[in-house]
Amino acid sequence: MSSGIKHRVYRLLEPGDGEGRCFDIFIICLIVLNVTAVILETVWWINARFEHLFDAFEIFSVAVFTLEYILRVWSCTADPRFSDPIRGRFRFMRTPLAVVDLLAFLPFYFPFVLPDMRVLRAVRIFRLLRVMKLARYTESVDLFIDVLRMKKDELVLVLVSLMILLLVSSTLMYEVEHDAQPYKFSSIPAAMWWGLVTLATVGYGDIFPVTPAGKLIGSVVVMLGIGLFALPAGIIASGFSEAIQRRREREEMVCPHCGKPIKELRRR
């Protein structure tokens, strides 16, 4: 009897079609309303007028998220990956989505343990993390994570190249501009601010070279920055294309025994 209830709760909580769809919509709406409430609370006249309503909604949201997390931990053993009653639950609690679920409500209880005004301010920031719970119900987030996992080596290589170029360009700019602008290019870390905004092609204009050698180095860095910052976009775009193609191939696969789509069987 308990096992049947556990499987039913698991199917209800897991995103998908059927009986869990209504719960998915409810949680998604609750997350969106929470983020909206956090934003509106920063408008002083709205917060002053509806402060009690915001507090009541926060208590209701925390109660729902807390109960959802407890039920997920309790029913996760219905999944073969977490079938062990103790180690399986601890393994489930370490998964990224479970950590996000925990952070969605855990900061609310901090002021009861640490009655500090700075903790209260931090709780408001953590409340925005609830928007990350949408990752559980959004296939696009899963697709983006798959792309980053597929292209992590290429992205790390580009990141390392950017860091090397930033260090070299900032060091050269410090050497040629320090005497002309001792306050703006006072050190290599200070020159790194110029290097960062130049490589990113933002160019705030608060720091810029004035010597001929500095202008030459700056021109080269700008050209290299355009090329290097375009590389991650191309890598991610190709990753999206590959990931979408793989998903389409998986959706088209059918079970050799029953002839039903693999995607439909996985939902069950």
The CATH number of the structural domain formed by 2-137 is 1.20.120.350
Question: 205 Cβ partners below 8 Å, 6+ apart?
Answer: none
The CATH number of the structural domain formed by 152-267 is 1.10.287.70
Which has the higher per-residue pLDDT, 227 or 54?
A: 54
Which has the higher per-residue pLDDT, 196 or 116?
A: 196
pTM, 2 dp:
0.65
Q: Which tokens is 120 given?
A: 């209260």
What whole-number distance in Å separates Cα of residue 107 and Cα of residue 22? 27
Q: What does pLDDT average to over the chain?
A: 82
* Maximum average pLDDT range among 1-5, 13-17, 42-46, 223-227: 42-46
Note whether 173 and 195 are within 8 A (CB): yes
Confidence band of 265 (pLDDT split at 50, 70, 90)? very low
Please tell me the predicted confidence (pLDDT) of residue 10.
86
Model confidence at 60: pLDDT above 50: yes
Closest CA to 225 of 175, 170, 176: 170
Query: Domains of the chain: which residue ranges?
Result: 2-137, 152-267
Q: Which tokens is 28 given?
A: 């998604």
Mean pLDDT of 99-117: 76
Please tell me the predicted confidence (pLDDT) of residue 70.
94
E strand or H helix at 80: none
